[in-house]
Amino acid sequence: MKNWRPLLLSLLSLPSLLFATTSHSEPLVWKATKGQQQLMLIGTIHLGHKSMYPLPEVLEQFLKTSDGLVLEASLEEDMPPINFDGVILTKQVLTSEQREQLDKTATKLKLDPIMLLNLPPWLTAVSIENQTFESLGYDASEGVDQTIQKQAQALKIPLLTFETLAQQLDVLQNLPDNGKSLLLDAISDEDQQSEDVYSCMIQSWQDGDQDNLLKLLETSEWDLQTSDALLYSRNQDWIKKITNPSFLSPTGQYVIAVGALHLIAEQNLIQTLTEHGYHVTQVTTSKDSYCQF
């Protein structure tokens, strides 16, 4: 699934900017152990660029001997159809001023504003944010999820998933006002150097700058219900699966790759694993990014 800005770090579904990477900083990766079970977790961005790789060596070596790779959803699953019958549309939730902003955004991105007005707000947000990100040279095929899944397939590592794409779509279609807060977030930064925001997000991910990544969520227009639906409730569902021996063997070794906000925002998986008796440590080296949202 293609995603909008904070959702690039939380929900799978979405001229090139090159960033210099050094041995002094890496994306956030944690190792969690409980008894004989070993987990390695990486926070992902669902769209990316080849300049973001390779992934940390500690993760790639761990993957080679893993019993499975756990993703949010299968990236090869067909997207289920979207039901437009009786849903709230973008044109129904925007003020005249917000419509003008949407039109300006659509023109800049070479999108059809009439089409966007007749989509559900969450889907309009997806279209805007994904088009913006791709215009900067990023692509779903270079996303962290895609990259690590390809590595696992080459190693014949089994794939497990927390959700189906149909379940993710159901979350989106049941957001308050059909995702109005996501839409407002998508159009709010048009006059605020949005390219810098995207490049800073990638740089912060590469540097493992947790505080900076959290600022992205803090500056978004998401309401509490949206954050709960997209982050907190899903984390609770996932921890039930992680601790279920029929899903992950108590003696197994697994890589878990999910949107970065699931590992650093409130009620995150790292915190919840600790509460469930796991010993969790960060195994990569982070540094502060020299950029701001």
| Successive 10-residue mean pLDDT values, the chain, 293 residues | 46 38 73 99 90 94 98 86 87 96 93 96 91 85 92 98 93 91 80 67 92 80 83 96 98 97 94 98 93 75
Residue 219: the pLDDT is: 66
287 within some domain: no
> What's the start-to-end Cα distance of the chain, in Å?
25
Give the bridge partners for 279, in sequence order.
33
174 within some domain: yes
175 within some domain: yes
Tally the domains of the chain.
1
290 within some domain: no
Residue 134: the pLDDT is: 84
Residue 79: the pLDDT is: 79
Within 8 A by CB and 6+ apart from 78, the residues are: 165
291 within some domain: no
* Cβ atoms of 85 and 113 closer than 8 Å: no
1 within some domain: no
- Amino acid letter, 133: F
* Cβ atoms of 199 and 42 closer than 8 Å: no
293 within some domain: no
292 within some domain: no
* Cβ atoms of 171 and 231 closer than 8 Å: no
Residue 137: the pLDDT is: 86
Q: Name the residue among 259, 243, 81, 263 with its Cα closest to residue 173.
A: 81
Does the pTM exceed 0.75? Answer: yes
Domain containing 47 equals 6-282
